[in-house]
């Protein structure tokens, strides 16, 4: 199920503006990779380029290569819609579909794949996904209720359930805990630990402790100066990153002595 991702010499542009420059990294299968760095350094853009979600913004384009298990992501013959079915995404703010019930929210992705689902199959998918997202016990008696009625942390886990219901290869998370309280955050972090046995997970976070807690590898992004493109300063195992980083600026950022 899980796949590795190779990024080589990646530049990402918005129109003429170069947002991220020269990224090389290898994201291992069945592991958690964290992107850290100051605001505006392009980590979210980098993350979005991994499932071509940045293309939603007009004028966005990339140069360089992203290979998912040997298959080029930006090949002319590759349909971005197909990419996003393989590489799921969880956003900064929980975004369940407001008019759908919990049940329908979980199945939203599966129903896109056009084939008719039997009631029993649907029930199985909903139960399996909600259990995998550690939400089943809390919502199993109110699956028909709207997803918006849940708390923020529950909504975010519902979004994770929705993303894994289609059994993607990779799960991208764009600051999934930044809108949540510490208890919900810890629930999501536990969940990430469990999910990495089945999925390749890439997570963007502003929270250094979170990166240290959940990830196996960490990439530190930074800007050379304001207005300059963001770039990958260092990509190393998280343990090394937080104890003995290669770069001085990494250590400065991690220890809070920024700049």
Partner 1 sequence: MSVTTSVPEKAPAKPPRSLGDRLFSGVARAAGLTILAALAGVFIFLTIEGVPGLSQPTSTYAPNHDFLSYVGPLIYGTILAAVLALILAVPFALGIALFISHYAPRRLAVPVAYVIDLLAAVPSVVFGLWGARSLATYLVPLHEWLYAHLSWLPFFAGPPSVTGRTIFTAGIVLAIMILPIITAISREVFAQTPRLDQEAALALGATRWEMVRMAVFPYARSGMVSAIMLGLGRALGETMAVAMVLSASPIVTLNLISNTNPATVASNIASSFAEATPAKLHVLIATGLVLFAFTFAVNFAARWVVGRNDRRMSR
Smallest gap from residue 142 Cβ to partner 1 (A): 11
Helix (H, G, I), strand (E, B) or coil at 176: coil
CA–CA separation, 112 and 44 (whole Å): 26
240: CB partners within 8 A, 6+ apart: none
Complex with partner 1: residue 152 or 237, whichever CB lies closer: 152
Of 29 and 108, which CB lies nearer to partner 1 in the complex structure? Answer: 108
Name the minimum Å distance from CB 194 to partner 1. 21
Q: Bridge partners of 160? A: none
Residues engaged in binding partner 1 (CB under 8 A): 51, 53, 56, 58, 81-86, 88-89, 91, 93, 95-100, 108-109, 112-113, 145-146, 148-149, 159, 162-163, 166
CA 157 to chain centre: 13
Could you tell me the smallest distance in angstroms from the CB atom of residue 99 to partner 1?
A: 4
Nearer to partner 1, 153 or 245 (CB): 153
**Number of Cβ atoms within 10 Å of the Cβ of 70:** 8
| Residue number, 71 or 99, with CB nearest to partner 1 | 99
CB of 109 to partner 1, least distance (A): 4
Decide whether 112 or 183 has the Cβ nearer to partner 1.
112
- Burial state string for 221-254 with b = 16 or more CB within 10 A and e = fewer than 16: bbbeeeeebbbbbbbbebeebbeebeeebbbebb
Which two tokens mark 24?
A: 């090389």
CB of 230 vs partner 1, minimal distance in Å: 21
């Amino acid at each position: 199920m899980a796949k590795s991702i190779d990024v080589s010499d990646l530049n990402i542009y918005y129109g003429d503006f170069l947002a991220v420059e020269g990224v090389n990294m290898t994201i291992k299968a069945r592991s958690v990779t964290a992107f850290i760095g100051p605001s505006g350094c392009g980590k979210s853009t980098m993350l979005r380029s991994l499932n071509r979600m940045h293309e939603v913004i007009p004028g966005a384009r990339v140069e360089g290569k992203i290979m998912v298990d040997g298959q080029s992501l930006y090949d002319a013959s590759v349909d971005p819609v197909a990419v996003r079915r393989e590489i799921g995404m969880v956003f900064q703010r929980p975004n369940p579909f407001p008019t759908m019930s919990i049940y329908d929210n979980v199945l939203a992705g599966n129903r896109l794949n056009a084939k008719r689902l039997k009631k029993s199959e649907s029930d199985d998918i909903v139960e399996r996904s909600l259990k995998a997202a550690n939400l089943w016990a809390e919502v199993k008696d109110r699956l028909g209720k709207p997803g918006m009625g849940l708390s923020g942390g529950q909504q975010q886990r519902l979004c994770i359930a929705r993303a894994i219901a289609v059994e993607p290869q990779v799960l991208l998370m764009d600051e999934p805990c930044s809108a949540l309280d510490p208890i919900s955050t810890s629930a999501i972090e536990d969940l990430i630990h469990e999910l990495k046995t089945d999925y390749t997970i890439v997570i963007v976070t502003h929270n250094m402790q979170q990166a240290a807690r959940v990830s196996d590898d960490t990439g530190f992004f930074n800007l050379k100066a304001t207005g300059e493109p963001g770039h990958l300063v260092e990509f190393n195992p998280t343990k090394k990153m937080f104890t003995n980083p290669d770069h001085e600026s990494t250590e400065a950022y991690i220890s809070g002595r920024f700049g």
